[in-house]
Amino acid sequence: MSDKKHMNEILNVIPRVIPKNSILIFDTGGNTKKNKDKIRAMGYHYLTLKRKKWAHIKRRLHILKSSMMPKMWRP
């Protein structure tokens, strides 16, 4: 089962075991607009991670690696 679907099942159980106005903490697997909207509508708060934008990170790593190469080895 994917994290997004699993998170939806968990959200159905939460009102029975966690008091309203609590903070729910979860990773990027459950971080969807639908899940976050549901959490807020249920009267909870949340803390989660943003998905990484890999293109941005790969570009910076390439620049870093290029700058660390000796000048004679650079393309």
Contacts of 45 (CB under 8 A, 6+ apart): 21, 22, 23, 24, 39
12 versus 56: the higher-pLDDT residue is: 12
Distance CA 49, CA 27 (A): 6
Predicted confidence at residue 9, as pLDDT, reads 87
State pLDDT tens for residues 21-48: 999 998 888 888 999 999 999 999 999 9
Domain around 11:
3-73
Percent of the chain with pLDDT over 90: 39
Percent of the chain with pLDDT over 70: 80
The letter for the amino acid at 14 is: I
Q: Which two tokens stand for residue 67?
A: 């700058």
Q: Using alpha carbons only, give the angle 41, 44, 16 rounded to the nearest 5 degrees.
A: 95
pTM of the model: 0.63
Structure letter (DSSP) for residue 31: -
